[in-house]
Amino acid sequence: MAPKWKQLLMLDTPQAREGCIWVHACSVGEVGSVVPLIRRFLSAGQGVHLTVVTNTGFEHARRLLGDRVSLAFLPWDLPGLMRRYVLHLQPRLLVLTETEFWPGMLSACHAAGVPIISVNTRISDRSFPRYRATRWLWRRALNKAELFLPASRLDADRLRELGVENHRIRLVGNLKYAVTPPDVDALSLRRRIDPSQARPILLLASTHEDEERRVLNMMPAWRQFCPELLVVVVPRHPERFERVAELVREQGLRLHCWSQGESPVGVDVLLVDAMGQLAILYAVADLVFIGGSLVDIGGHNPLEAAVCGRGVVTGPFVQNFREIMHELVMQGAAVIGRSDDEVEDIIKRWLEHPEELQALHASAAAFMQEQRDVLDRIWAEMALRLA
């Protein structure tokens, strides 16, 4: 594969199928959410070219899709480069995910007569003031898109406030609900993590700086009720693996790393120092904490846990998934702890009252079953443009 910088400058052009569907997803989260739609395109006989921005997004796409799609980094959003890129690809349709609004890309596709659909359009609390302050600029750019399928009613309202015409907005559901359970041998995975296959497993998913320390400080209280508790930590960013390992050792806890193979007996904390493993770990976790929520990151996707029949607990910062978390909480499939103490107490209660934990998990499974047709609704909008 050509170096990234050559792809950014279009000194290396992708070998995409003419008339392909061009899908753009920024990073890991966007790639993960759009994969079910990409698989639907492939099943319908469409070629797909996927562009990403980040290295982690590229590697995640390659793991999930292999060589079934052509994959490249998005060139710099300069008018000349984008015109050349569109001329080279000759895509049949451009599908954008979330907030991937690149003016050069939009203009080049619009000028070439390529229909543009934004799926799961999401404008975060943090970015919305900036968009609103320059809405005179964005109104013209965004109305080059034929259709927006926003992630929530709030996102639809924000699009209207930015000047997107109402007939270009359609609420059909959140694509993130289209997540599917991982294909995993749960018994073998459980054996690798816990040779006894009897210990309760608490999964700390997608944790960020300072969260591991704060959660590990809660362990003494939990172990009063459950001395055999095993904590599995999956940091969000790989560059933090070593720092988290040091933190666990500083706490005097017995550490084992995923890269070392099967866990020995007596481990306190398993550090997953590898990318792409989180989805399968939900299938064997007994309790799940979603990171990015004790610190003001905004939380991460709880639906990968829910589709495995696992309810979740989070900290107070869940604005990235506000509507999804609201629905899960209302259905009894998630609990939001408003402080470290609340998170500690929630997990302590579940350890003391496993029947309440099982009810949480059952609610998560039932909720995901109710959402199973969202991909069909989104696909129906795509099929109209491919007819």
Which are the catalytic amino acids? 30
Q: What is the pLDDT of residue 13?
A: 83
Is pLDDT above 80 for 56? yes
* Average of per-residue pLDDT across 134-142: 92
Q: What is the pLDDT of residue 62?
A: 94
- Cβ proximity of 298 and 322 under 8 Å: no
Give tens-digit pLDDT for 296-355.
Answer: 999 999 999 999 999 999 999 999 999 899 999 999 999 999 999 999 999 999 999 999
- The three-class DSSP label of residue 219 is helix
Q: What is the pLDDT of residue 76?
A: 95
Q: Where are the domains of the chain?
A: 4-171, 186-370
- Cβ proximity of 149 and 168 under 8 Å: no
- Cβ proximity of 84 and 44 under 8 Å: no
Is pLDDT above 80 for 85? yes
Q: Whole-number mean pLDDT of the chain?
A: 94
* Average of per-residue pLDDT across 365-380: 93
pTM summary value: 0.81
Give tens-digit pLDDT for 227-268.
Answer: 999 999 999 999 999 999 999 999 999 999 999 999 999 999
Q: Residue 97: is it exposed, middle or buried by C-beta count within 10 angstroms (0-12/13-18/19+)?
A: buried
3-state secondary structure 1-58: CCCHHHHHCCCCCCCCCCCCEEEECCCHHHHHHHHHHHHHHHHCCCCEEEEECCHHHH
* CATH code of domain 186-370: 3.40.50.2000
User: What gap in Å lies between CA 354 and CA 178, rounded to an integer?
Assistant: 29
Q: How does DSSP classify residue 175?
A: G
The fold of 4-171 is: Rossmann fold (3.40.50)
Is pLDDT above 90 for 38? yes
* Average of per-residue pLDDT across 170-187: 92
- The three-class DSSP label of residue 152 is coil
